Each structure stands twice: as structure tokens, then as C-alpha cells.
Amino acid sequence: MGKLVVLTLLGAVLALIGERLVAFRQRTNASRAVEPVDLPNCHLIEGLENGSEDIDILPNGLAFISSGLKYPGMPNFASDEPGQIFLMDLNEQNPRVQALNISDGFDKASFNPHGISTFIDKDHTVYLYVVNHPHMKSTVEKFKFEEQQRSLVHLKTIKHELLTSVNDIVVLGPEQFYATRDHYFTNFFLVLLEMIMDLRWTYVLFYSPKEVKVVAKGFSSANGITVSLDKKYIYVADVLAQNVHVLNKHGNWDLTQVKVIQLGTLVDNLTVDPDTGDILAGCHPNAMKLLIYNPEDPPGSEVLRIQDVLSEKPKISTKYANNGSVLQGSSVASVYHGKLLIGTVFHKALYCLF
């Protein structure tokens, strides 16, 4: 009798694991092939060879680009080099990237930048906030941008027990920001288990010097985050659920869900078109190819535009798609007056005119 119970329980566990593995393959679009969608007037950006995971463009056309992310389970072509922040002036006829110098006193050797967000103060000072993973921990670094010197002055390292496994950030005030936690566990094998079992234990938090709190939860893997042009709504990408959450922002910084937009692709970082308010999403059409990297069959790239976000039926269109022959592992797309930048987790970056 005892053996029968054990065998029954073992069979149930194996059946559950099998069902979850099948579901995980579906959620990562493991069988999906990419149908190419090309844009005219595109070229790879010289100098960005080791990723361009996140991009934030100022209203004056200066684009900040985070590069060199080392992320558990993801490919990395420059594991011995620290990460960098690059600048690109999109007002130039042939814009080029320039690595920004970082002030002394900051540990540049362990710099591992992930999501980024800018904030312009009342006196027009530009601050850059960077999600950093030194030694695979999570902090938020606050820099002041010196435009004339093309440099970053490090001002502060922000730490908190809720700032764990941080992915992205959107800054809405002086040291006031929302951040996403993309995994509950920090051990890589437990992270894999978390994804396979679809535990939905990740969240969005609000941080200020006076208050830190979880303001939205229940995500499979909360990823990219940004804010609408009118600052009333927060947009959050749930990469494994293949959707974007539209959340109403309240005066006390709490968030309530308005709607969820299903995309059918694994959405990474989000940006907002400053001219239209549309959401642009950098996506992974087949994330299994990210987890099991094969240079002969690399992960593809995909950029979606979401129009009429608050309507009953938002319009979703594919602006760019590639099977990895040009661009691998797209993570972000950002526009500035007819110019499009597409960044990647670990690969190159694309500049397009449209």
C-alpha cells in the first residue's frame, strides 16, 4: 500500500512537471519562426557591440544607452568588460555613440547596467538613474549628467530590501520612482523553476526616501516600465505572460489596473512615442533561443507599436522583425522625430529613419 501511494504521488508530480514544461515552451514561443518585417534606411550602430539593453531619449534628442549587461542565463560577448553608458545625439545628421565618462569614486569595474530612466529637475539639471547589478546584486545608481563634459557624476547608490532582482525603472520625481522586480528568487536554478512553474510572485514597487512599498503584484516576470505622456498611467511589461499592463497612478503613488493588452510575443522594455503617446515595445519573438543560445540559429528581434492604448481595441502593429541575421535579442525600441533606435540584451543596436 505504501509503495502504491509513493508511486501515485511520484506520477502526479511528474505529470505536473511535464504539463508545466509544455506550458513553459508555449509561453516562450519555443516553436515560433519570425516573419521578417524590414524598415528602410537602417544600419547597425558602430561602437555598440555588447548590448544596448535600455534606451532613454531626452526631449532635446540626446539618447542614453545602457550596454554590457551580464544577466544570468543570457549570452554575453564581453564577460570581462564592465558595463557602460553611451550617449547619442539624434540631432546630428550621422549620429554616433560616445561612451560617457563616470566620475571617480564610483566602482566602474563592477558596473553592470540594466534599465535606465532620466529625470529633468526644475532647474533643467538632467539626472540619470541606472539599475545596476554589481556582483549580481541590485542597486539603483543616481548620476548627474554634465552635457558639456559628456560625463556622469555619481551622486548616490540606492539600496533597499525590496530592490531585489530589479529589471527596469521609471523616475517621476527627485528620487521618486517605480521599479520592476523580474524574479522572486535570485539563485539561477530556482529562477528557472519559478519560470517553469509560473509562480507569479514578481511585482512593481514605489521608492522614495520616505516610503518604499509594493504597488502592483501578481506578474509572471515584471519587466519594462514607463509612463504615459500625461503622467496618469504606468505601463508594465510582463514578459512571460506576453502582455502589457495599463495601471492608473494615484496621488499616493498606488497603482490600480485598468486593462491588460495581450501581444502574443515576449515583451521586454517599453517606451512612449513623444509625438503620439503610442507604446513601443522591444520584444523577443522566441525566448527559448535566448535561454538556449545557438549562434547558428540565434534569437530574433521584434518591435511592436501599440496605438490607442486606452481604447477597447488598441491597434497593434509590427514595425520591425528579424530572425537574428541582423539583430539578436531586441529589448527596447525608442523613437525621436522619425528616428528609431532598437537595442538588444547582448548584441548590437540598429538606427533607422522612417
SS (H, E, C) 200-255: CCEEEEEECCCCEEEEEEEECCEEEEEECCCCCEEEEEECCCCEEEEEEECCCCCE
56 is in an annotated binding site: no
Of 161, 206, 52, which is closest to residue 116 (Cα–Cα)?
52
Q: Report the 10 Å Cβ neighbour count for 213.
A: 12
How far apart CA 282 and CA 208 sit, in angstroms, is 28
Domain-located, residue 10: no
Distance set, CA 186 to CA 97, 156, 165, 230 (Å): 33, 24, 7, 35
54 is in an annotated binding site: yes
Residue with cell 540584451: 345
Q: Dihedral, CA atoms, 208, 212, 215, 217, nearest 10 degrees?
A: 130
169 is in an annotated binding site: no
Domain-located, residue 6: no
Judged on CB neighbours under 10 Å (0-12, 13-18, 19+), 154 is middle
223 is in an annotated binding site: yes
Per the CB < 8 A criterion, the answer to whether 141 and 157 are in contact is yes
Q: What is the CATH number of the domain that holds 245?
A: 2.120.10.30
Domain-located, residue 146: yes
pLDDT of residue 97: 98
Domain-located, residue 11: no
Domain-located, residue 27: no
pLDDT of residue 62: 98
CA angle 102, 104, 108 (to 5 degrees): 60
Of 235, 279, 243, which is closest to residue 260 (Cα–Cα)?
243
Tell me if residue 114 is catalytic.
yes
pLDDT of residue 20: 85
pLDDT of residue 72: 85
Per the CB < 8 A criterion, the answer to whether 125 and 137 are in contact is no
pLDDT of residue 4: 66
In angstroms, how far is CA 95 from the centroid of its own chain? 24
Domain-located, residue 148: yes
123 is in an annotated binding site: no
Q: Report the 10 Å Cβ neighbour count for 72.
A: 14
Number of separate domains in the chain: 1
Beta strands in 58-125 (DSSP E): 62-67, 84-89, 97-99, 101-102, 113-120
Judged on CB neighbours under 10 Å (0-12, 13-18, 19+), 166 is buried
| 326 Cβ contact list (under 8 Å, min separation 6) | 44, 301, 350
pTM score, whole prediction: 0.95
Q: What is the pLDDT along the chain (354 residues), one digit of tens a residue?
A: 566 666 666 666 666 678 888 989 999 999 999 999 999 899 999 999 999 999 999 999 999 999 999 988 888 888 789 999 999 999 999 999 999 999 999 999 999 999 999 999 999 999 999 999 999 999 999 999 999 999 999 999 999 999 999 999 999 999 999 999 999 999 988 999 999 999 999 999 999 999 999 999 999 999 999 999 999 999 999 999 999 999 999 999 999 999 999 999 999 999 999 999 999 999 999 999 999 999 999 999 999 999 999 999 999 999 999 999 999 999 999 999 999 999 999 999 999 998
116 is in an annotated binding site: yes
Domain-located, residue 220: yes
* Domain, as residue range, for 232: 32-353
Greatest alpha-carbon span in the chain: 79
Candidate list 43, 114, 160, 284, residue with the active-site label: 114
Domain-located, residue 24: no
